């Protein structure tokens, strides 16, 4: 029988628990979005922490319906946002606490990783790549090399947004248009189904300097014109400008790293519009949105090799 590995991830907007096996198959993938009030653009950390704690009993019951949890050999958990010193968000403490409780009850080892590492592993098992981490709170362009023990990653930031992320830009414009938060899916669906001929002309493109991007000016620009155009015109123009910006950065990365594949991960990478525009330029993650699948696989690899980037919690 294949060994089973549990993964836990508590991002600022999704509670996620997943189980994978030793062959890399996804056995269970259970997620629940955190509720955001109409008209608001996100959650405070204490609110996110509360909702994660509230979600876990319901989610773990569903996981138990999918698998025999007594067969679980390890638990992986996202304990911090990114692979940098001092990276911390309170919402990840909910998952870490739950992992410790589950690990103690099941008497299995617990391995800690970053939320970003989970996105990378959910996107690809390639030993080296350029990963565009495009999510609600993060836009970073990363040079990623798998550690020698094959369980975690050495991650170097080669570019990023200098103010807000692409996810924040799209969500903020979407909420201003009247969509519920998170608004990415609504904006993307509208853009994908719209006529390309209605793209608004004459707007300033996103400001790019090397692999760094400024987006706050674009937010101001779009907020000024929202009342002057139809929703489908705003949506497709926003997504088209995003695609053009990413296309330019992909070209820059390919010029500097011609032999390294480019992978797009994170919730924004699930955009149907971006996939259509950039499908021949990059690899898109199958599991891009916030999830625990990559964390589960990393924990399984750590268990199999008895070493990992994150230390087991005693």
User: What average pLDDT score do residues 75-96 get?
Assistant: 93
Return the pLDDT at 238. 98
List C-alpha distances in Å: 272 to 78, 179, 187, 194. 27, 18, 10, 12
In this structure, what are the phi and psi dihedrals at residue 234, rounded to the nearest 5 degrees?
-65, -45
Give the start-to-end residue ranges of the domains of the chain: 4-124+289-305, 166-284
Position 20 confidence tier, pLDDT thresholds 50, 70, 90: very high
Main-chain dihedrals φ then ψ at residue 70, nearest 5 degrees:
-70, -15
| Radius of gyration for the alpha carbons in the chain, expressed in angstroms and rounded | 20
For residue 276, pLDDT beyond 60: yes
Beta bridge partners of 76: 7, 111
pTM: 0.91
pLDDT at 38: 87
Residue for token digits 């993964």? 7
Q: What is the CATH code of the structural domain delimited by 4-124+289-305?
A: 3.30.420.40
Q: At what angle do helices 166-176 and 216-225 cross, to 10 degrees?
A: 20
Residues 114, 87: Cα–Cα separation, whole Å? 9
CB 19 within 8 A of CB 67: yes
If phi > 0 it is left, if psi is from -120 to 50 it is alpha, else beta; for residue 94 that is: alpha
Q: Which two tokens stand for residue 45?
A: 């950390």
- Going by their DSSP bridges, the two strands 128-134 and 262-265 should be labelled as parallel
Please tell me the predicted confidence (pLDDT) of residue 42: 85
Two tokens at 307?
């070493």
pLDDT at 310: 46
Q: If you ran DSSP here, which 8-state letter would residue 107 be given?
A: T
Stated length of the chain: 314
pLDDT of residue 110: 96
Among residues 117, 102, 137, which one has the least CA distance to residue 302?
A: 117
Whole-number pLDDT of residue 189: 98
Higher pLDDT pick, 287 / 104: 104
Q: Which CATH number fits domain 166-284: 3.40.50.300, 3.30.420.40, 3.40.50.9100, 3.30.1330.10?
A: 3.30.420.40
In tens, the pLDDT along 122-139 reads: 999 999 999 999 998 899
Under the banding of pLDDT at 50, 70 and 90, the label for residue 1 is low
Please tell me the distance from the alpha carbon of residue 115 to that of residue 66, in angstroms, as a whole number.
24
Residues 281, 253: Cα–Cα separation, whole Å: 11
From CA 138, how far away is CA 141, in angstroms rounded? 10
DSSP 37: -
């Amino acid at each position: 029988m294949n060994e089973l590995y549990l993964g836990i991830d508590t991002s600022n907007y999704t509670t996620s628990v997943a189980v994978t096996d030793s062959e890399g198959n996804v056995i269970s993938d259970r997620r629940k979005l955190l509720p955001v009030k109409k008209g608001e653009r996100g959650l405070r950390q204490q609110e996110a922490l509360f909702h994660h704690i509230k979600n876990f009993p319901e989610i773990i019951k569903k996981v138990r319906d999918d698998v025999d949890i007594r067969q679980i050999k390890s638990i992986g958990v996202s304990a911090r946002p990114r692979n940098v010193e001092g990276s911390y968000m309170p919402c990840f403490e909910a998952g870490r606490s739950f992992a410790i409780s589950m690990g103690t009850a099941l008497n299995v080892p617990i391995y800690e990783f970053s939320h970003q590492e989970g996105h990378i592993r959910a996107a690809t098992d390639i030993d080296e790549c350029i990963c565009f981490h495009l999510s609600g709170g993060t836009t970073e362009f990363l040079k990623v090399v798998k550690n020698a023990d094959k369980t975690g990653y050495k991650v170097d930031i080669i570019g990023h947004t200098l103010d807000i992320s692409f996810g924040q830009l799209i969500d903020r414009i979407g909420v201003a248009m009247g969509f519920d938060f998170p608004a990415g899916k609504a904006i993307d669906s509208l853009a994908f189904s719209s006529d390309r001929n209605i793209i608004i002309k004459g707007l300033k493109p996103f400001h790019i300097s090397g692999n760094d991007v400024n987006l706050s000016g674009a937010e101001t620009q779009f907020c000024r014109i929202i009342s002057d155009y139809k929703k489908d015109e705003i949506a497709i123009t926003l997504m088209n400008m995003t695609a053009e910006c990413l296309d330019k950065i992909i070209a820059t990365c390919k010029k500097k790293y011609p032999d390294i594949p480019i992978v797009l991960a994170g919730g924004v990478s699930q955009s149907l519009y971006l996939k259509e525009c950039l499908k021949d330029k990059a690899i898109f993650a199958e599991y891009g949105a916030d999830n625990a699948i990559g964390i589960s696989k990393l924990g399984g690899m750590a268990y199999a090799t008895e070493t990992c980037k994150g230390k087991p919690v005693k």
